[in-house]
Amino acid sequence: MNVARWLTTRNVGFAVFVVAAGIAAKNLLFGRYADFDIYLTVARELQAGGVDLCRARTESGPWVYPHCAALPFVLMLQVFGEFGARVAWCCLLGALAAWLVRSLHTAVSAAQELRVRHWLVFALLFQRCVAQNLTHGQLSLAVGAFTAAGVAALVRGRDGKAGVWLALAAALKVTPVLFVPALVVMGRWRAALVMAATLAFTVFVLPWPLLGTAEHLRHLHDTWHALTSSVVDPTQSAIVQSYAGPGVGGALDYLLQPRPLDAEGRTVNLFAVGDTTLTVVKAIWSLALAALLGLWFLRAKHLPLGPRVLHQACTVVLAMGWFAPLLRVYHLAAALPPFLLFCTGPRDRRDGLWWLAAGVVLFAMTLRQKNLLGEAAWRALDGGAFLHLGMVLVAVWLLRSVTQGPACPPPASTS
């Protein structure tokens, strides 16, 4: 089957839209989900003025985005009202899911020929990254769609468009800012300049006439304080308190210290080390992961232009997740390009590394671990560590694929 034609037909795009919008509507139209409700709450607070959007909220958690990210929700509330805003957001989530699938195909097919079985493996292993965004009404799906569109544009040599899409992703969530220095190192100066200029306009200029100078500057100060505190003093930051996950901090903090996972005080720690030991272990492991990504980035330089850009972009999106103060499964929507690229394997039946990585991801993302292990073992071993290990194994396999060549050749050019 010609998967390129299959994925770009209107029927498939419409089917993805309908299914995704339906999943979102099931949870968001008549129920209440904290992730989406906080967006509507923040939109009302932005309209009212004088409120710290980034403060801790016991009922729904903190707002962790720049205040410009609330403007679409302000617009939806003003135009459609609350129920209409919920309908509009469900439709937007469906459109973003369809766009994400198409952008992923465009980006990854530059390096590997994509077949239907690759998409089936991808759906089995990584569908939860998208599904949780739909059920939660998460803004991270927009971040993932903009990031994938930016990577696809880079692969096709459309640097201006790539800079715009990546800037919009960074305006919604700060971590895609890593693309600015990465694009410079990649030699994509035009994309880096467009991204920096678009990001500066979206964050610093666009909300200004709508909010007024004093209110705009206050929101910028609150956002800066919330973001820096999550790095400088994470124990006092509302963003990262009590959040285990597959990032470096989210995995090691809870494996190596008896930090409670939830209100009941459950823990997942295998050891109980001191703060200094924890800091040293996290630093060493972070350096090891940075070296892995750096080696992968450098090894990709010998590849043709399209695959080179794709692999180098994959290192950036994994760094965005691993080193973020907070990483949840739905945030991984921005890391789907390397995951789809991984699903083009294995190289052969004896490719043990691929099967190991796929098995760990399957266990961490898809299977019901509590039912398989029992609750005691599940509580003792997980908390994001299994998925973190799976992501590292995926990165190692992709690094090896750069060295050894693709598992299957990219499609022949028709130009």
8 A C-beta contact, residue 176 and residue 199: no
Give CA–CA dist 293/288, Å, rounded: 9
**What average pLDDT does range 136-157 have in this prediction?**
95
Q: What percent of the chain has pLDDT over 70?
A: 84
Whether residue 413 has pLDDT greater than 50: no
Higher pLDDT among residues 318 and 52, named by residue: 318
8 A C-beta contact, residue 69 and residue 169: no
Whether residue 279 has pLDDT greater than 60: yes
Q: Which of 116-120, 311-315, 326-330, 402-406 has the lowest mean pLDDT?
A: 402-406
DSSP code of 205? I
Higher pLDDT among residues 245 and 282, named by residue: 282
Give CA–CA dist 243/379, Å, rounded: 14
Higher pLDDT among residues 204 and 7, named by residue: 204
Give CA–CA dist 369/236, Å, rounded: 31
SS3 of the chain: helix, strand, coil, percent, to 5: 75, 0, 25
pLDDT value at position 60?
58
**What average pLDDT does range 374-401 have in this prediction?**
79
pLDDT value at position 206?
94
Q: Using 50, 70 and 90 to split pLDDT, how confident is the model at 350?
A: confident
pLDDT value at position 188?
94
pLDDT value at position 3?
54
Q: Which of 88-97, 302-311, 369-378 has the lowest mean pLDDT?
A: 369-378
Cα Rg for the chain, rounded, in angstroms?
Answer: 21
pLDDT value at position 379?
52
8 A C-beta contact, residue 52 and residue 46: no
Select from 123, 162, 171, 134 the least CA-distant residue to 336.
Answer: 123
Cis peptide preceding 346, ω within 30 of 0: yes
**What average pLDDT does range 113-130 have in this prediction?**
91
pLDDT value at position 414?
39
∠ at Cα 376 (375, 380), nearest 5°? 110
Q: Which of 86-95, 159-168, 292-301, 378-387 has the lowest mean pLDDT?
A: 378-387
8 A C-beta contact, residue 62 and residue 226: yes
pLDDT value at position 215?
92
Q: What is the average pLDDT score of the chain?
A: 86
Please state the three-class secondary structure of 273-342 as a single string. CCHHHHHHHHHHHHHHHHHHHHHHHHHHHHCCHHHHHHHHHHHHHHHHHHCCCCCCHHHHHHHHHHHHHH
Whether residue 2 has pLDDT greater than 60: no
Higher pLDDT among residues 193 and 247, named by residue: 193
E-strand spans in 160-207? none
Higher pLDDT among residues 268 and 399, named by residue: 399
Give CA–CA dist 357/88, Å, rounded: 38
pLDDT value at position 377?
56
pLDDT value at position 58?
65
pLDDT value at position 21?
94
∠ at Cα 91 (131, 87), nearest 5°? 105
pLDDT value at position 228?
77
Distances in whole angstroms, Cα of residue 403 to Cα of each of 302, 303, 315, 389, 400: 9, 10, 15, 22, 5
Residue environment code for 380-396, b if the CB has 16+ CB neighbours within 10 A, otherwise e: bebbbbbbbbbbbbbbe
pLDDT value at position 292?
97
**What average pLDDT does range 171-194 have in this prediction?**
95
8 A C-beta contact, residue 282 and residue 359: no
pLDDT value at position 415?
36
pLDDT value at position 242?
55
Higher pLDDT among residues 142 and 410, named by residue: 142
